[in-house]
Every structure is written in C-alpha cells, then in structure tokens.
C-alpha cells in the first residue's frame, strides 16, 4: 500500500467563525446610547431602561425617539407614556405644566419609583384627578448611572442589551456553522458539535463587543473619526441610499429623514458598527495572542488568523451597509453574513497559498506516521487498516492536534498515540494454534 487514499486521510475539519452583522440592532443601540451624553441624557437612559424591563415582562413596548412637542416618549401596550426623571418630585410635577395647564393629556406620567408617592400627592394638591402616574422600574440614581461611562449600572444595562443581540447571533451562527462543516465533509456529530461551539463563542463575542461599543459611545472618544466616516460614505453612497438606510431603522410611524440628517444618522450607525466589529477583532486577536504564549498556535498562525478576521470584519461591514441600502434590515443582515464569509474565505485562500495552518500541518504529520507504521512495522490487512483509520478519525479533533502542536517532538507524539490503535488491531486478530491445526490437517488427510 504505497499511499492512503485522499478519502481515508485524516483531515482537520475547519469551522466558520464569522460574526453576523445586525445593523438594525447594533447600530440602533449605538445611536440611542449616544443620546445618553446629552444634558438630559439620564432621561433617555430612563426611557430605554424602563422599556427594556417592560419588554422582558412580555409587554409590547417601544421608545419613540421622536422630538414631537408634548408628544409621548414611549408606548407600552398601546398606552402613551411621558417619562419624567427629575432630581425630585417637585421638579417632575412642575415640568408637566405650562402656564398652569397640564401638557400631557392622554399620557401616563412615568416617574422614578422613589418619587411616585410624592408625585401623586402633588398632582392631587393641584386638583388634577385624571392624570395617571406610572411607577418606573429604575430609580433616578440608576438612570443617571446608566447614562455614564464605566458604571456598574451602565455595564449591566449593556450586558442585558448585548444578550438580546447575542441570542440572535447564536441562532444564525449555529445554522451557518453547521452547513459550513457539512460542506467541508464533516459528520453530523461534528456539524452539531462545531455549530454549538462556534455559536457559543460568537454569542460571547457579541455580548462583550456590544458592551465595548456602548461604553465607547458614552466616552469622550465617541466623536472620533465621525467626519472621516461620513466622508467615506459620501463617496460610495447616493443621497437616496443614505435615506433608504436611515429610514430602514426608524420606528413605524416615525417621521422619515433625508439629506444631511440622514447622512449624519447613517454615519453614526456605521461608525457604531465599526466599533462593534473592532471589538470582536480585538477579542479574536487577544485570544490568539494568549494561545501563542501558551504554545497552542504559532506566530505565523496568529498573523493568518488576524488578517483572515480583518478581511471578514471589513467585508462583512461593507456588504451589510450595501445590503441595507438595497433591501433594508434583512438585506443588511444577509449582506453582512455573506460578505463576511466571502471575504474571510478569499483572504484565507490567499494566505493558504503562502503557508498552511498549524492544525493542517499536524494532520499531515499524522498521515505520514500512519503510512510509516503500516508499511514498516505492522502490515495490517486492508480490513484491519480501514478499521484502525476509522477509530483514529473518530478521536482526532482540534484539542488533539493542538496538544500535538505543543509537544516538543510532534513526530514522536503522533507515533506514540497512533501505535496504540495498530497494536490493538493485532490483539484483535483470531489466535492461530499451529500444532493443533497441523495435527487436524494430517488426521483429515489420513
């Protein structure tokens, strides 16, 4: 047996790790968080936080994000709500009146829970009986801290909203990872395992990167590169595409925006997604750096992974933007995923021509050792050899190959691991009793 057929070779089944781009959520959250930096940013934070709690309770809740004079801030189950988060109950009540007249007819007044009783008393004192006071879910102090950079409350809020995005990414990533593994010749068991592993990793990356981008939006660096982002977009998008993009993410019934307003909105959203993508890239690279220091991958593999991930991030973001301009949020999601896959594949294809992956090299060492053991030491029958190969294939995974890579003598490591399978094949052979067989032969002949 001069060689092992390709179909019998040990192969490392590669997995797909392209984070799906969801501009509808990521970019929108970034734009909403930018409002936290305004003078009354804690009011916007209160709207978003109370709305999030209502949604988790199962209510149909939406923040309107419209600056309509005396209009509602949000709607929950069809009820219009005016959120008033002020430093004390007296100020909250005062802001509900102008020239002695109540400004928010038909709306519930939402106030911090610790101010609720006092607000009710002050409304009754004014003789207003038809106003409905609503107790908010978060306190005034919590709302203030949610709007700030680096606070526990703000980080907690970002983690919760990040989980919302991460769950969406989990399902999409699992589907594509399953398919990608199948296309690469993986078994159903490998497909399921890789799908769960990859989607879990991407879920975590999405949550952490979301927190990173939202904290960035609150920081003094949030204005960084805004004009540069706008300049680039103006060169590649038409005015109509800006408008289509911007209005794709506005709530139903909201006033549409055009011209400079649409361009500014899109620039903020795209920059937010770029920050989000950068966060994922940092996480991916950071994990690879740790792997290099632990000897699990080489510096060469680190460089390959970085450029492959960078290509995926850039291609995914560009296609997400164009996809949104063509077909709205759905087009953006599909464009982001497909663009990321194609870009990652193209970049990796080029890099593979330069140098193979670490794990592919380990798989090649295994194949060479299998051939050597079969030809020079064991000479198994074809049936025995096929059984050995099947057993080896079922045990070879990423962890096995990484442990092999870490070994100081990879050839010897592979040989030692493989010999056990060959020796077991010899032990499983039927025992031949030579003397008994010969005696039986001559008796039969006689």
Residue 442: pLDDT over 90: no
Q: DSSP letters of 398-437?
A: HHHHHHHHHSS-HHHHHHHHHHHHHHHHHHTSPP--HHHH
Tell me if 171 is assigned to some domain.
no
pLDDT in tens, 119-155: 999 998 988 777 799 999 999 999 999 999 999 999 9
Tell me if 105 is assigned to some domain.
yes
Q: Biggest alpha carbon distance in the chain?
A: 129
Mean pLDDT of all residues in 296-314: 84
- Are residues 118 and 233 both part of a single domain? no
Does residue 336 contact residue 317 with C-beta atoms inside 8 Å?
yes
Does residue 128 contact residue 105 with C-beta atoms inside 8 Å?
no
- Specify the pLDDT at position 53: 96
For residue 190, what pLDDT band results from cuts at 50, 70 and 90? Answer: confident
- Are residues 341 and 298 both part of a single domain? yes
- Are residues 83 and 98 both part of a single domain? yes
Tell me if 42 is assigned to some domain.
yes
Reading the block at residue 356, the tokens are: 């193979």
Burial state string for 136-147 with b = 16 or more CB within 10 A and e = fewer than 16: bbbbbebbbbbb
pLDDT in tens, 248-293: 877 666 688 999 999 998 888 888 888 888 888 888 888 888 888 8
102, 130, 146: which is the final residue of a domain? 146
pLDDT in tens, 197-232: 888 888 888 888 889 889 998 988 888 788 888 998
Tell me if 16 is assigned to some domain.
no
- Are residues 256 and 313 both part of a single domain? yes
The dihedral region occupied by 65, where left means phi > 0, alpha psi between -120 and 50, and beta the remainder, is left
Residue 6: pLDDT over 90: no
- How many residues are given for the chain? 446
- Specify the pLDDT at position 3: 45
- Are residues 253 and 317 both part of a single domain? yes
- Are residues 334 and 229 both part of a single domain? yes
Residue 397 is given by DSSP the state -
Residue 432: pLDDT over 60: no
| Cα 366 to Cα 6, 13, 88, 375, distances in angstroms | 14, 14, 72, 14
Nearest to 142 by CA among 85, 219, 74, 82: 85
Reading the block at residue 336, the tokens are: 């982001």
Any idea what the CATH number is for the domain that residue 103 is in? Answer: 3.40.1350
Q: Which helix (H) or strand (E) holds 134?
A: strand 133-135
Nearest to 11 by CA among 369, 353, 352, 363: 363
Domain count, the chain: 3
First to last CA, the chain: 41
pTM for the full predicted model:
0.72
- Are residues 140 and 44 both part of a single domain? yes
- Specify the pLDDT at position 146: 97
Reading the block at residue 288, the tokens are: 């690879």
- Are residues 290 and 382 both part of a single domain? no
Does residue 110 contact residue 84 with C-beta atoms inside 8 Å?
yes
Residue with tokens 């890789």: 194
Q: Are strands 97-98 and 61-63 parallel, antiparallel or unpaired?
A: unpaired
Nearest to 248 by CA among 404, 20, 28: 28
For the chain, give the percent of residues with pLDDT over 90.
28
- Are residues 30 and 106 both part of a single domain? yes
Tell me if 205 is assigned to some domain.
no
355, 386, 408: which is the final residue of a domain? 355
Tell me if 206 is assigned to some domain.
no
Residue with tokens 């099947």: 390
Other Cβ atoms within 10 Å of 364 Cβ, number: 15
Tell me if 444 is assigned to some domain.
no
- Are residues 335 and 368 both part of a single domain? no
| Angle, helix 299-354 to helix 23-34, in steps of 10 degrees | 140
Nearest to 417 by CA among 431, 403, 427, 428: 403
Q: DSSP letters of 82-133?
A: EE---SSHHHHHHTTEETTEES-TT-EEEE-GGGHHHHHHHHHHTT--S--E
- Specify the pLDDT at position 446: 53
Does residue 420 contact residue 391 with C-beta atoms inside 8 Å?
no
Residue 4: pLDDT over 50: no
Reading the block at residue 79, the tokens are: 């009820």
Domain of residue 365, residue span: 358-427
Burial state string for 206-236 with b = 16 or more CB within 10 A and e = fewer than 16: bbbbbbbbbbbbbeeebeeeeeebbeebeee
Angle 344-347-349 (CA atoms, 0-180°, nearest 5)?
A: 105
326, 355, 384: which is the final residue of a domain? 355
State residue 341 phi and psi, 5-degree precision.
-65, -50
Identify which has the larger pLDDT, 227 or 44.
44
Cα 349 to Cα 309: distance, rounded to the nearest angstrom: 13
Nearest to 43 by CA among 147, 137, 134: 147
Tell me if 165 is assigned to some domain.
no
- Are residues 78 and 103 both part of a single domain? yes
- Are residues 350 and 365 both part of a single domain? no
- Specify the pLDDT at position 134: 96
Cα 202 to Cα 166: distance, rounded to the nearest angstrom: 8
């Amino acid at each position: 047996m001069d060689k092992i057929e390709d179909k019998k070779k040990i192969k490392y089944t590669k997995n797909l790790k392209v984070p799906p781009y969801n501009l509808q959520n990521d970019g929108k959250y970034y734009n909403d968080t930018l409002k936290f930096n305004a003078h009354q940013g804690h009011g916007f934070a209160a709207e978003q936080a109370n709305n999030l709690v209502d949604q988790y309770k199962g209510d149909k809740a939406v923040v309107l994000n419209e600056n309509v004079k005396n209009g509602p801030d949000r709607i929950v189950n069809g009820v219009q709500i005016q959120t008033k988060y002020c430093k004390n109950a007296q100020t909250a009540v005062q802001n509900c009146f102008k020239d002695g007249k109540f400004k928010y007819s038909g709306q519930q007044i939402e106030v911090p829970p610790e101010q609720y009783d006092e607000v009710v008393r002050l409304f009754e004192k004014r003789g207003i009986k038809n106003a409905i006071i609503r107790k908010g879910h978060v306190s005034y102090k919590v709302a203030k801290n949610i709007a700030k950079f680096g606070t526990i409350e703000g980080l907690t809020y970002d983690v919760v909203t990040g989980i919302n995005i991460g769950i969406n990414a989990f399902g999409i990533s699992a589907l594509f990872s399953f398919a990608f593994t199948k296309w690469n010749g993986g078994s159903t068991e490998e497909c399921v395992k890789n799908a769960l592993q990859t989607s879990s990793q991407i879920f975590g990356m999405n949550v952490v990167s979301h927190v990173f981008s939202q904290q960035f939006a609150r920081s003094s660096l949030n204005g960084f590169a805004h004009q540069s982002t706008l300049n680039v977009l103006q060169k590649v998008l038409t005015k109509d595409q800006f408008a289509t993009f911007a209005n794709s993410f506005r709530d139903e019934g909201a006033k549409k925006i055009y011209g400079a307003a649409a361009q500014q909105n899109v620039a903020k959203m795209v920059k937010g997604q770029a920050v989000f993508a950068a966060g994922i890239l940092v996480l991916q690279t950071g994990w690879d750096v740790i792997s290099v220091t632990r000897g699990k991958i080489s510096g060469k593999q680190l460089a390959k992974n970085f450029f492959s991930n960078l290509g995926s991030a850039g291609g995914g973001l560009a296609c997400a933007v164009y996809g949104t301009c063509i077909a709205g949020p759905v087009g953006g999601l599909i464009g982001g995923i497909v663009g990321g896959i194609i870009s990652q594949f193209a970049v990796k294809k080029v890099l593979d021509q330069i140098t193979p992956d670490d794990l592919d090299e380990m798989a090649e060492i295994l194949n060479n050792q299998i051939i050597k053991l079969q030809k020079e030491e064991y000479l198994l029958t074809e049936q025995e050899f096929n059984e050995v190969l099947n057993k080896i294939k079922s045990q070879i995974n990423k962890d096995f190959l990484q442990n092999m890579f870490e070994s100081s003598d990879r050839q010897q490591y592979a040989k030692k691991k493989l010999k056990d399978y060959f020796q077991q094949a010899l032990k499983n052979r039927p025992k031949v009793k030579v003397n008994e067989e010969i005696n039986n032969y001559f008796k039969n002949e006689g």
